[in-house]
Amino acid sequence: MCWSATADLVAGTGIAAVGVASVSLAARRPRDLPLAALPLLLGAHQIIEAAVWHHDGGTGPATLAWAVIALPLLALWVPAAVLCAAPPSARRRLLIPLAAGAATAAALAYALATRTVTAEIRGHTVGYSLGLPQAELIVVGYLIATIGSLLLSGDRGLVLFGVLVAVGAAVSVVLWRQEYISTWCAFAAVCSVVLLLWVRKRRPYP
């Protein structure tokens, strides 16, 4: 795939439309709404990256908005949303990725408040730099919060989504190490179509 402002805009619009459909279907099950809204958030995220492309990277508002969604917001949103939607039998173990997400989100929010995030156009990808201290530990916490919560959800559809996102993370690290977070978020956005199928199969509460 070749990324550009146009590609991000088209993909983001399409994924956001999937999110709108997903949210409308999830109205039958209010506990599913945070997770059903994830494609909407990821679609908006890709549209914001189109603005980053348009401004040739840099440190402007679009770059900061992209980083806020990609880093602290997703680290907390995903495990909290999975906890809401998960069956009761899985909720106790899901407190672990939720705690990891809360701690990771706090660290990332502090970093964004005290440091400057920079976007750099690198060919057909975008690299983001924040200069995180103990970056490896933060990445582990982030992956436990996001992928870990999906794999521990106890729901077949969410586990499938988690596996796809995990594969995307591995591919992004191998092929685009310096642009990992950007390419992984794009991959997750495309995979979030699985969430629409998951919402469609859910039954309303009696």
Domains of the chain, by residue range, sit at: 5-201
**Would you state the pLDDT for residue 1?**
39
Give yes or no for residue 206 having a pLDDT over 70.
Answer: no
**What does the mean pLDDT of the chain come to?**
88
**Would you state the pLDDT for residue 103?**
97
**Would you state the pLDDT for residue 188?**
74
Q: What would the pLDDT profile of 80-103 be if each residue is shown by its tens digit? A: 999 999 999 999 999 999 999 999
Which residue intervals of 27-179 are DSSP H helices? Answer: 33-36, 38-54, 61-68, 74-85, 95-114, 135-143, 149-151, 156-175
**Would you state the pLDDT for residue 176?**
58
- State whether residue 60 is helix, strand or coil: coil
**Would you state the pLDDT for residue 64?**
96
Give yes or no for residue 137 having a pLDDT over 80.
Answer: yes
For range 122-140, the mean pLDDT: 86
Alpha carbon of 26 to those of 16, 170, 197, 202: distances in Å? 15, 30, 11, 8
Q: What would the pLDDT profile of 170-195 be if each residue is shown by its tens digit? A: 877 766 555 566 676 677 777 888 88
Give yes or no for residue 205 having a pLDDT over 60.
Answer: no
Give yes or no for residue 133 having a pLDDT over 60.
Answer: yes
What is the distance between the alpha carbons of residues 172 and 160, in angstroms, rounded to a whole number?
18
Give the other-Cβ count within 10 Å of 4's Cβ.
14
Alpha carbon of 148 to those of 93, 115, 169: distances in Å? 10, 28, 12
Q: What would the pLDDT profile of 16-71 be if each residue is shown by its tens digit? A: 999 999 999 998 889 999 999 999 999 999 899 999 999 999 999 999 999 999 99
What is the distance between the alpha carbons of residues 46 and 65, in angstroms, rounded to a whole number?
11
What is the distance between the alpha carbons of residues 23 and 91, in angstroms, rounded to a whole number?
22
**Would you state the pLDDT for residue 204?**
60
